[in-house]
């Protein structure tokens, strides 16, 4: 992934990915260009997936009533 994309926002990456998908779906992109667009799309998809995983990890932790961070588990059970 290029350094430019490393600093991109999730929303910006999603918009760019959507543009790539739309152009590929139109079907009038030359083969070599389509392959490059596909590669770019895969990189954008990976970037977005990684960003979502980071957010998910952050969401798994919340502050408890005492202001301490605790890890949430399924069905609200506290981890130890």
Q: Report the pLDDT value the prediction gives residue 28, as an integer from 0 to 100.
A: 92
Q: Report the pLDDT value the prediction gives residue 80, as an integer from 0 to 100.
A: 47
Assess if CATH 1.10.287 describes domain 2-65. Answer: yes
Q: Which two tokens stand for residue 17?
A: 């990915």
Q: Report the pLDDT value the prediction gives residue 60, as an integer from 0 to 100.
A: 77
Q: Using an 8 Å Cβ cutoff, are 79 and 73 in contact?
A: yes
Phi, psi torsion values for 56, nearest 5 degrees: -60, -40
Per-residue pLDDT of the chain (80 residues; tens, 9 = 90+): 454 556 689 999 999 999 999 999 998 999 999 999 999 999 999 999 999 999 888 777 766 667 777 776 666 555 44
Q: Report the pLDDT value the prediction gives residue 6, as an integer from 0 to 100.
A: 60
Q: What is the dihedral of CA 53, 57, 59, 64, to 10 degrees?
A: 180
Q: Report the pLDDT value the prediction gives residue 55, as an integer from 0 to 100.
A: 85
Paired strand residues for 61? 71
Domain ranges of the chain: 2-65
Q: Report the pLDDT value the prediction gives residue 70, as an integer from 0 to 100.
A: 73
Q: Using an 8 Å Cβ cutoff, are 70 and 78 in contact?
A: yes
């Amino acid at each position: 992934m290029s350094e430019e994309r490393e600093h991109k926002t999730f929303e910006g990456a999603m918009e760019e990915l959507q543009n790539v998908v739309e152009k590929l779906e139109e079907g009038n992109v030359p083969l070599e260009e389509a392959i490059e667009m596909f590669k770019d799309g895969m990189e954008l998809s990976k970037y977005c997936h990684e960003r979502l995983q980071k957010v998910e990890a952050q969401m798994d932790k919340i502050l408890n009533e005492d202001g301490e961070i605790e890890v949430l588990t399924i069905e609200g059970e506290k981890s130890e």
